[in-house]
Structure 1
């Protein structure tokens, strides 16, 4: 790279962790001329800074080329596969088994902008926008996600999310949730999966703010996402784009754990 480095740029060690996970150029077509490390640096810059694609600094590759790769990788699930591969490295690095046995599930309602795209109104949080449903492990690392309109009930969003679980969740036995997930969903999960939902409820004798056991795991993940300005609201036209930016943000976090500084 022959330019001034940005704080979001990959270090050499971080790039070495993912360079072999980048899809190769398609056979029979033109040879790839872009530096793929710079393409990923540009995507990280957009995620953290929150700028529009067209406002990419000129020392990055052309914004339309970067967005073209982003769209292609979004549609083919590249960022999700890259994210899941790194998570399988971070857990042993933290002296945990590759496959978690427990997790925490919750949702976060975020506002949208006046741009195009589906949105709904969350009457409980008084938010007009979308809702992020996340399942995380005990390290607060992302296991599964789905983004819906904010009017979708938590229980319905949980059903949709649980239908997306892959092999990384095959050893799950318990998922902690808040009181909004009680009821028929708990029974349905027990009949469909090998894990159970365990509601963590606030004591009626408690007054004021208190940190509930286990529930803070997913709240920490939401706070990490909010450090990326592109995720401070939902600016995207499509929910699949919103999900991809979440994968990018969590991928950056895990790269910094595996190769700090």
Structure 2
């Protein structure tokens, strides 16, 4: 897919909240949400590189650390990555330094302007928001019905595989 669009993979991380009444449930005091969070690492085309589901009370930075370690443990080919765009939940010099020291990635936080009224497309952030929209097309991911976080992660990969296969099939 990347060859067709002639783009390199620059990942973007962001988190979204999902609700569940089973296990791994937490409460996010910032957004006042009970449930789980999906931490997603995508490339510049919005294709999923890595997914991790955690309780909602896990901070964005802690979830990102877990996501990076998971990617390294699973041997994900992230060696070409240089820059990572993230939303404001990942800001902070200590976290940026941690990412640079451990993984040699430059973390660039893309913030929404305070003077924007209503919904405005924020450069780079729309890519991961679009990915969440694609994932929510899947009925099993629209709401969190799963007991195990691993199941939700697997369903996210299956939904992305389905999307990529359909795109490739349209070319022929």
Q: Structure 2: give runs of 5+ residues left out of the alignment.
A: none
Secondary structure of the equivalent of 1:235? coil
Task: Provide the secondary structure at the position in 2 that maps to 1:164.
Answer: helix
**2: distance between equivalents of 1:118 and 1:204?**
33
CA contact (8 A) 1:136 1:144 kept: yes
User: Does structure 2 retain, via aligned residues, the 8 Å contact 1:175–1:195?
Assistant: yes
Q: What residue in structure 2 maps to residue 254 of structure 1?
A: 164
Aligned pair 1:185/2:95, yes or no? yes
Q: 1-side partners of 2:18 and 2:39: how far apart?
A: 11
- Which structure is larger by alpha-carbon Rg, 1 or 2? 1
Contact 1:117 1:236 in 2 (8 A): no
Say how many residue pairs are matched: 167
The structure with the greater share of residues assigned to strand is 2
Equivalent position SS for 1:203: coil
Q: Which aligned pairs between 1:77-226 and structure 2 lie closer than 5 A?
A: 90-97=1-8, 100=9, 102-112=10-20, 114=21, 116-165=22-71, 166-183=75-92, 184-226=94-136
Stretches of structure 1 lacking an aligned partner (at least 5 in a row): 1-89
For residues 15 and 30 of structure 2, the distance between their equivalents in structure 1, rounded to whole angstroms, comes to: 12
SS in 2 for 1:176: strand
Q: Displacement, 1:244?
A: 0.4
Q: Which runs of 4+ in 1 moved over 3 A?
A: none
Aligned counterparts of 1:149 and 1:167: Cα–Cα separation in 2: 23
Contact 1:177 1:215 in 2 (8 A): yes
CA distance in 2, matches of 1:121, 1:229: 24
Contact 2:15/2:37, CA 8 A, preserved across alignment: yes
Note if contact 1:109-1:125 (Cα within 8 Å) is conserved in structure 2: no
CA positional deviation for 1:149: 0.7
Alpha-carbon offset, residue 167 of structure 1: 4.0
C-alpha deviation, 1:125, in angstroms: 2.3
Q: Structure 2 length as normaliser, TM-score? A: 0.90
- Which deviates further from its counterpart, 122-131 or 173-182? 122-131
CA RMSD of aligned residues (A): 1.5
Q: Secondary structure at the match of 2:104?
A: coil
